[in-house]
Structure 1
Amino acid sequence: MFYKKLQKIMFDSINKYLTTYSNSESPCLVYDFGLLEQVLFEFKKQIPEDFNYKFFYAIKANANEEILRYLSDRIDGVDVASLAELKIAKKFFNSEKISINGPAFTCEDIKLLNREGYRTDINYPEYLINNFQDSEIGIRIMEVDEQNNSLSRFGINIFDDNYFHSIEIANITRLHLHFGEKNINFIRKLEDTLIQFKKMDKLKNITEINIGGGFIQLLMSNQLNNFFLELMELYKMFGIEDKIVTLIEPGNALVKFSGYMVAKPINVSEESGKQIITVNTSIYTNTLWFTPKIITTLNPTSTNRINSKIYGNTCFEYDKYSEEIYLPKVSTESSLVFFPMGAYVKSNHSNLHSNKFMSEVYLWTQTES
């Protein structure tokens, strides 16, 4: 049902785009706040009403200022992973509404930002030594396997005896667990973390738990409510349900479906009965982390579908949008629409051939929430 609502808004938005821009802006990334509004509505609807949480947005997914302006009075804050992201976030959120975490910050950065009232979570165990006995601090928990071996280079392995003293003397009031898609396995790993802090007699000091992102599968399968109910039961097991504020930091899950790309063919040719399309933008420079899907063609020359391959416009041999897909026949007067494109596009953009990032345009298609 949720995805069907997105589909309706999506195709209404494309019609509005064609009316507003006459298909002249290309390549362009179209953000529709109606799509973002629908995702935010659905996300909050699936969270239990009595769950004590704060909704933060992970800016690394998309630092577009118009998106941040829209979100500024609709969420509780944002998470930043660099000083550059922090500079953008400060335009829309004060220090209490900004969470700091990531490997890009020096110890001196963390000290300063902590004094200025930001939520600062340490990524490196070395930073704890002789630095945060007198001021509250958070730590990022490293993901480990069943033998407590590290599964990530991020965070502090709280099960490693080498770091026990540093954790013991620091004034840790926040825990930050940012790994994987949320599921029952995450709940178990959080339980192990709480057990460890209880053993160290440090759990009593914890007032905030940041569980990061990774909600997209739960959101799309309408399982967010069940996950948070399990999380609440876990808190009750430890008797901390009334003292813990939980931060959630969706990035991809929140903005992924807010944008789509419109691109035009530079050239269309046929080889062995296949349609070979080169478009005026590049998967290699724009979407390194994923392959977007073509959801429709605009102004096709024929409705008959033909086996097609789509390439980007760089000199990189493997700049391909798809291996093969059946599409209507198109020409250089047609356009292809790729969706979803709201997350990890501009933030991952590279400028091979000195190509600048594509145009960004904004629409607001009304929802039926």
Structure 2
Amino acid sequence: MNQIVDYIQSRKENSSEPFCAFLYDLDHLREHVRRRVETLPASCRLFYAIKANSDEPILRTLAPIVDGFEVASLGEVKKVRAVAPDIPILFGGPGKTDEEIEGAIDHHVSLLHVESVHELQRVANLASQRGIQVPILLRVNLRGPLPDATLAMAGRPTQFGIDETEIAEAIRLAQGLESVKLEGFHLHSLSNNLNPEQHVRLVEYYCERVTGWIKEFALQITYLNAGGGIGVNYADLEEQFDWDLFVKRLGPMLEAKCPAGVTPLFECGRYLTASCGYYAVEVLDIKRNHGKNYVVIRGGTHHFRLPVSWQHSHPFQVIPVERWDYPFLRKELHDNEITVVGQLCTPKDVLAKDIVVPRVRIGDVILFQYAGAYGWAISHHDFLSHPHPEHVYLEQSDRTFAVGGNKHGRRIV
């Protein structure tokens, strides 16, 4: 955090331009993910779901650490191959085109997640035309019961996976197709689970279902993809998912319940990258309307859509900036409740609502934390054609670089 604040204040000392940037701490990212990989049970593999953030420096930082990447489009396949020509790739998503299936084959995707019987037939047909065998996982929409979470992909009607009541048909079809090899099952059912013991029970449930299919259909499979689903607590940054408890409970459970010879795969996105990223935006104005204080920032939900998408007030802190270039008094608030809004011509452009801050002034910088996942990647960048934010990637270096006003021993990738 200190290096992020130093960078912002240094930039503002040397520039009168309103500050607006996504900032990424690559050292934090590297250490955070490395520890997750190292502490998972030895039988497991950890993939990064790049939909959370597919920026090239993020992928380059993670490629030497994770066991592979999970993608959901041919475009994402190409992004991965641009930084890691040989790394394993898992390819999912409910609406793959023939071009994407053929692209997955051309780019040597390790496992293709098949989402329907029709898609299974299409994959088999395309593979047969090439005279090859494509390794697949069948994605199953389990009936449950499943835990509650912010987003649910299974246990209820959704567009994801094959209904569990139809899985027998899909397994028998896959067994009879020479051009596909059924390597296992993909059971990603929910997103943003904050309860580690509940998550272990979920993976245990997956193991039990897969064990049943192995016995019923005399299967010889290799993988159980348990998906991602590990969450981030935006409401209280001090109370995050207890990873240590999760892996402590996970190991013994897998020894007892995971079918022999089956490797559990995890494909986390948000949980791996959220904490390394920040969205930093300068305060352009402070105004009061109908009894409420509004802090207007250089930026908004067209850059950082997550808060309005999830209907929450995103956590932030105010970074003081002493520079003031105007010949009149600087407006400020003390110990007041504020709502942080962007530049868009819509009342929905709100990033945080009714938050008490000790002090905020026009010209200070609002620093939104845990913005490294589903921020820029999911936003409507060109709505109203405002300028895009900068994207700055900071990491430790052996010597000091003076780049863009940065003189704090940091390197901008």
Deviation at 1:253, TM superposition (A): 0.5
Cα offset, 1:115, TM superposition:
6.2
Displacement of 1:111 = 5.0
Matched, 1:179 2:189: yes
Q: CA separation in 1, counterparts of 2:73 and 2:34?
A: 28
Aligned counterparts of 2:13 and 2:264: Cα–Cα separation in 1: 46
What's 2:411 paired with? none
**Is the contact between residue 46 and residue 67 of structure 2 (CA under 8 Å) also seen in structure 1?**
yes
1:94-173 aligned at under 5 Å gives the runs: 94-95=85-86, 97-107=88-98, 109-111=100-102, 113-114=104-105, 117-119=108-110, 120-129=112-121, 131=125, 134-146=133-145, 150-160=156-166, 162-163=169-170, 165-170=172-177, 171-173=181-183
CA distance in 2, matches of 1:145, 1:55: 24
Describe the superposition over 1:208-257 as per-residue Cα deviations: whole angstroms up to 9, x where unpaired.
22222122368445322134225413445x4x1xx222222111000000
Q: Which residue is 2:250 aligned to?
A: 228
Contact kept in structure 1, 2:47 and 2:266, CA below 8 Å: yes
Cα 1:20/1:228, change in 2 over 3 Å: farther
Structure 1 residue matching 2:244: 3-state secondary structure: coil
| CA distance, structure 1, for counterparts of residue 263 and residue 24 of structure 2 | 32
* Alpha-carbon shift at residue 333 of structure 1 (Å): 1.6
Aligned partner letter, 1:232: L
Which of 341, 345, 358 does residue 389 from structure 2 map onto?
Answer: 358
Cα distance in 2 for residues equivalent to 1:261 and 1:353: 19
- Whether the 8 Å CA contact 1:191–1:234 is kept in 2: the answer is no
Residue pairs, 1:1-369, within 5 angstroms: 10-19=1-10, 22=13, 24=15, 26-48=19-41, 51-95=42-86, 97-107=88-98, 109-111=100-102, 113-114=104-105, 117-119=108-110, 120-129=112-121, 131=125, 134-146=133-145, 150-160=156-166, 162-163=169-170, 165-170=172-177, 171-180=181-190, 181=193, 182-202=199-219, 204=220, 206-216=221-231, 219-220=241-242, 222-236=244-258, 238=259, 240=260, 243-271=261-289, 274-288=292-306, 289-290=309-310, 291-299=313-321, 304-350=334-380, 351-364=382-395
Distance (Å, rounded) in 1 between the aligned partners of 2:290 and 2:99: 61
| Matched-pair contact (CA < 8 Å) for 1:17–1:23 | no
- For the aligned residue pairs, the C-alpha RMSD in angstroms reads 2.9
Contact 2:284 2:363 in 1 (8 A): no
C-alpha distance in 2 between matches for 1:15 and 1:149: 47
Partner of 1:7: none
Task: Give deviations 1:126-161, integer Å, cap 9, x for gaps.
Answer: 122364795432222223235997543211234325
SS at match of 1:174: strand
Q: Offset at 1:195?
A: 0.8
Q: Answer yes or no: is the 8 Å Cα contact 1:77–1:98 preserved in 2.
A: yes
Q: Are the structure 2 counterparts of residues 365 and 274 from structure 1 closer, same or farther at C-alpha, using a change threshold of 3 Å?
A: farther
1:208 is aligned with what amino acid?
Answer: Y
Q: CA deviation at 1:315?
A: 0.8
Residue in 2 that maps onto 1:5: none
The residue aligned with 1:6 is none
Q: TM-score, normalised by structure 1?
A: 0.83
CA contact (8 A) 1:262 1:338 kept: yes
Question: Would the aligned equivalents of 2:56 and 2:79 in 1 still touch at CA under 8 Å?
Answer: yes
Give the counterpart letter for 1:308 in structure 2: I
* Contact 2:140–2:164 (CA under 8 A) maintained in structure 1: yes
Whether the aligned pair in 2 keeps the contact of 1:13 and 1:365 (CA below 8 Å) is no
Name which structure has the greater RCO, CA cutoff 8 Å, separation 6+: 1
Q: Output the amino acid matched with 2:342.
A: G
Give the letter for the 2:317 counterpart: I
Q: Which runs of 5+ in 2 are unaligned?
A: 147-153, 194-198, 233-239, 323-329, 398-413
Whether contact under 8 Å (1:58, 1:249) holds in the other structure is yes
Secondary structure of 1:222's counterpart equals helix
Q: Give the 3 Å change call, closer, same or farther, for CA 13–45 of structure 1 in structure 2.
A: farther
SS at match of 1:364: strand
Partners of 2:13 and 2:267 in 1: how far apart? Answer: 37
